Amino acid sequence: MMSRPDFMEKQVLYIESSEAKRLSFKNSNLVLTDESGKITLQHSCHKIFVVFITGNFTITSVLLKNAKRFGFPLVFLDYSLRPYFTFNSGTEGNFLLRKLQYTCKFNLEIAKHIVTNKIQNQLQLMQSLRYKTKNEKECILAMQESIKSVKVVKNSQELLGIEGTAAKLFFSTYFKNMNFKGRKPRVKSDIYNVLLDIGYTYLFNFIEANLNFYGFDIYCGFYHKFFFQRKSLVCDIMEPFRCIIEKRLRKSYNLKQIKEDDFTCIQNRFVLKRNSSKKYTELFLRAILKHKEDIFLYLQSYYRAFIKNKDIEKYPSCYIGESK
């Protein structure tokens, strides 16, 4: 397993095809070259955690072989930053861990723990707002009641209902000044939903890369159930960390970093313009990397608690405060 000091030295790479056209491997380095064969970037594979690739490249089989060897995934995105393929490097042989996943008898308790942590982080962001109206104070009280309600749910459907209600309260309060029409995943009905989808995509792939260290079956979740081609465990683990993206979005709005000219609307769907992708990639990746240690330590503790069959009280929680 990777140690914390080793993990903290790892780096995330984002590469666009405008920078180079060929990705290859040489002397333990990932190498980018342009059409004339000139090297534009050379980066040690020992220090790579994950590589996000946007656009069209020629990629050598030797690089793929060594990405597996050095243990970093390649995530391919289109120009609107939507992933379409991931070359993974997981520890698939941890059969003892996977057997425990398939035979786990306390799925609901794990799910309740995850959802509680998510709502607590949402509540913390809501409480950080200044000049709260009476309605917003009532929403905060309702969120506190939601946390209490999670503890007594009897099944996943009840839990799903509480989590959904809490999410509506959160978005309507935390994004109150942004003319936000509500969360609509993948619909892209406004620029804020587009940006949330982009931010969540980077968070999802970062957490997936962490899970692959341990050999989890990422399709076997506890809150998100089995569904064809859905990486349910990644969906589970990212829930408490979604507030990283939401906090970054609101901060970017307040700093006037979000420009309508960066987007275009096609058949009532907003799309990020190609030349703006790097700007928003940097915003969200910087926010995620501020919490890279939090995510690593959370997953490390989660793995140890699960593999040792510990009581749910010993499972980790992570709190994303306003101080970071």
The CA distance from 191 to 272, in Å, is: 8
pLDDT at 283: 96
In order of start, what are the domains of the chain with their CATH numbers? 4-87 (3.100.10.20), 95-115+181-314 (1.20.120.920)
**How high is the pLDDT of residue 26?**
93
Flag whether pLDDT at 276 surpasses 70. Answer: yes
Please report the pLDDT score of residue 66 as a whole number. 94
- Of residues 2 and 109, which shows the higher confidence score? 109
pLDDT score at 20? 63
- Please state, in angstroms and rounded to a whole number, the distance separating the CA atoms of residues 204 and 83: 11
User: What is the pTM assigned to this prediction?
Assistant: 0.90
CA distance readout (Å), 127 to 105, 138, 322? 36, 11, 10
- Asked if the model's pLDDT at residue 246 lies above 70, the reply is yes
Rounded CA separation 109/312 (Å): 7
Average pLDDT, the chain: 91
What's phi and psi for 182, nearest 5 deg?
Answer: 115, 155
Query: Could you tell me the pLDDT band of residue 116, with boundaries at 50, 70 and 90?
Result: very high
Question: Between 93 and 239, where is the model more confident?
Answer: 239
286 pLDDT higher than 70: yes
pLDDT band at 321 (very low <50, low <70, confident <90, very high): low
> Average pLDDT of 184-199?
90
- pLDDT-based confidence at residue 324 (cuts at 50, 70, 90): very low
Question: Which has the closest alpha carbon to 290: 320, 255, 312, 246?
Answer: 320
Between CA 6 and CA 274 the distance in angstroms is: 34
Burial tier of 274 (Cβ tally within 10 Å: 0-12, 13-18, 19+): middle
Is the predicted pLDDT of residue 174 greater than 70, yes or no?
A: yes
Residue 42 phi, psi dihedral angles, 5° rounding: -140, 120
Q: Burial, 11: exposed, middle or buried (Cβ in 10 Å; 0-12, 13-18, 19+)? A: middle
Percent of the chain with pLDDT over 70: 97
Q: Cα(54)–Cα(17) distance, rounded to whole angstroms? A: 6
Measured in whole angstroms, the distance separating CA 123 from the mean position of its chain's CA atoms is: 19
The dihedral through the CA atoms of 305, 323, 241, 112 has a sign that is: positive
Is pLDDT at 47 greater than 50 in this prediction?
yes
Q: How far apart are CA 181 and CA 267, in angstroms?
A: 18
Q: Residue 256 is encoded by which pair of tokens?
A: 């006037």
Residue type, 309: N
Half-sphere exposure of 159 (CA within 13 A, CB side): 22
208-233 pLDDT, tens digit per residue, is 999 988 989 999 999 998 888 789 99
